[in-house]
Structure 1
């Protein structure tokens, strides 16, 4: 299967989407089973139930028996109410990370209530195209004292009417949400399902083919590819391999050189792991603290590996912080938890 292909299927009645590039799995999404915490992007009208004075955070009642943790709640008191949006995924039994900064994201536009301003993605560098998009933004409904607007890189070259429609839909949804200004805690907006997320986030570059048919995962090798990624042992380019294993505290990754016993084998295996690490973590849905137990290599090569890590995640667009090397020679990272771990929600896992 050549080219960039998006596949849309249903597994156990849940929407699922996969992105394949030249037959290799690049990403997979599936709706969480009923009863799990809402995904990133869901919005609730929350009420502060208690504060953490020393930490500056607060626990909010979000309705439906769920609690959220708001990191910056310095001036809030119990009983205060506000809109909050799910910003991450928590471990079972922990409060859901939420933010008071609402964003409504679609294929071409991001609308930000109460944060006015017009912007165009920095990835669009052609001056004429930036000017065209700024004119569209200025003429749109989002150009007001209450809404801010960011036109995404996917908007480049797109017909103005399609962009206007996209902005209008996001503004309409935002208005519906912010009309809620009092009352008990309740969920106002669900997170988008896997098919909507695929349409929104895998549109650039445009896929060569979109296959929307129940059973297409099995027909095109997606199920086998997912099972391979869910395994702890991950093969690396050049013959090495890595073990990716999770604990409650962190994600542990052990890099091995395989049959290569040359002087440079350790560096080659480490670089191979680093280049594929964003894809592995993305598909597995892993985040939080990540510890890389690298294959043996000279200390002078550490900077090269660290630079490769930063480059790989920057190109991937992931929110990652490189914490540095431990005295035992391990490299520590932190990655935002932006989806449920796949092993927890995949039907056959």
Structure 2
């Protein structure tokens, strides 16, 4: 079963998702700097760069947003031209355009934006101009996939697009149709605001961390939401009573004497999970290193000496490593290219088992990812969508001595 632990301070809200007592996701949001992903803006094109097939758009933030040509073309691939036009044929400097943030500003880069608008609801994602219906790949039963697709097809208007989410499995036709109607009405409001405002201007802000928690993470397997703030507790219960009335009683206030994150073991697990060296149950360990766009994870047997053959020792360590890596990717919110240096195995069957294990465990990850397979050098390569900084970055800062290299010069 799952538990969601929420700690509220004056300016910061921290949320932890626990599965069978193990921490698998952790999110922080500052009330003064809420996440931008999902927000919609009316922006003004500042400059168009044909050589990069991109444009920079002023949406009212410190840095101009980046808009790539693929995010300007029609969201339905079948309706895109076979040969991409120059972006200068689609956009001109000074033009006003509605865009949605799809990636947070990271480092010195501005936000990445798109014109492929999407509004997530409880059961589905509404896309006003996509003109197609999709069903979550995690819904495997073909009969259910066809049922959901038929419901969506009957409820959508010409040109609209829908993606039925995993939680829609088994949900009633009436609930799904209600979700569509609410999101359609929200989009109409956004269009009306855009028509009456000058750029740059914010048109829509995505839900707060508390509301997103209910929308995206509350499932029948969620046993409890435990929170240490009475006002926020009532907010969650109120939100649940509107969208999931039968589950409103699953929210409870924490009354313990010690801090909530300490009481439920969140702080202890966070401290271990964000170490440079992460230990496995059998005495093996992982070493995690970052660059801006690449994360490398090295697997080592460490203290584990095994009991049978070397191949068995390596295989068991790699299997435990696959479990821990799947958890760390979600918990640290690692994005970009990921290379995993598992310990070399002689048997091809074992290599396939590792791939299958990681693929199975990653099905619980709500962030888009792709396991590409083994490289010629024996590394397992995968990608995971990067939309924001790592989960602990708000609590850390670069070392003033090594500047983030992890090494200090002792001889000059």
TM-score over 0.5 (shorter chain): yes
Displacement of 1:70 in angstroms is 1.5
Among 254, 261, 274, the residue aligned to 2:298: 254
Are the aligned partners of 2:104 and 2:110 in contact in 1 as well (CA < 8 Å)? no
Whole-angstrom distance in 2 between the partners of 1:322 and 1:160: 34
Per-residue Cα deviation, 1:34-63 (whole angstroms, up to 9, x for no partner):
357x43212222222222322312221111
Larger proportion of helix: 2
Asked whether the 8 Å contact 2:278–2:286 carries over to 1, the reply is yes
1:112 aligns with 2:124: no
Aligned counterpart for 1:333 among listed residues 370, 378, 382: 382
TM-score, length of structure 1 as denominator length:
0.84
Deviates more, 1:122-131 or 1:171-180: 122-131
Which structure's relative contact order is higher, taking Cα pairs within 8 Å and 6+ residues apart?
1
Shift, 1:207, TM fit? 0.8
Which among 199, 202, 223 is matched to residue 214 of structure 2? 199
Which of 315, 319, 337 aligns to 2:368? It is 319
Q: Deviations over 1:100-149 (max 9, x none)?
A: 10110022121111223455545163637853x55654665xx2235333
State how far apart, in whole Å, the 2-side matches of 1:299 and 1:185 are: 58
Residue pairs, 1:143-158, within 5 angstroms: 143-145=156-158, 147-158=160-171
1:183-332 matches, cutoff 5 A: 183-214=198-229, 215-262=259-306, 263-264=310-311, 265-298=313-346, 300=348, 302=351, 304-314=353-363, 316-322=365-371, 329-332=378-381
Query: SS at the partner of 1:253?
Result: strand
Number of the residue aligned with 2:29: 31
Number of residue pairs matched? 343
* 1:78 maps onto 2:116 in alignment: no
Structure 1: segments with no counterpart, 5+ residues: none
Contact between 1:278 and 1:318, CA under 8 Å: does it hold in 2?
no
- Partners of 1:54 and 1:299 lie apart in 2 by 47
Q: Give 3-state SS (helix, strand or coil) of 1:291's partner.
A: strand
* Change in 2 beyond 3 A, CA 1:197/1:52: same
Q: Quote how far apart the aligned CAs of 1:292 are.
A: 2.4
- Secondary structure in structure 2 of the residue aligned to 1:208: strand
Maintained 8 Å contact 1:39/1:339 = no
- Greater displacement, 106-115 / 300-309: 300-309
Match of 1:343 in 2: 392
Which of 162-171 and 99-108 deviates more? Answer: 162-171
Matched, 1:167 2:163: no
Map Cα deviations across residues 218-239 of structure 1 (whole Å, 9 max, x no partner): 3322222222222222222433
Structure 2: runs of 5+ lacking an equivalent: 73-86, 230-258, 399-412
Determine which of 97, 111, 132 is the counterpart of 2:112: 97
Give me the whole-angstrom Cα distance separating, in 2, the residues matched to 1:66 and 1:276: 37
C-alpha distance in structure 1 between counterparts of 2:13 and 2:297, whole Å: 30
Query: Is the alpha carbon distance of 1:127 and 1:88 closer, same or farther for their aligned partners in structure 2, counting shifts above 3 Å?
Result: same
Cα-Cα RMSD: 3.1
- Alpha-carbon distance, 1:205 to partner: 4.0
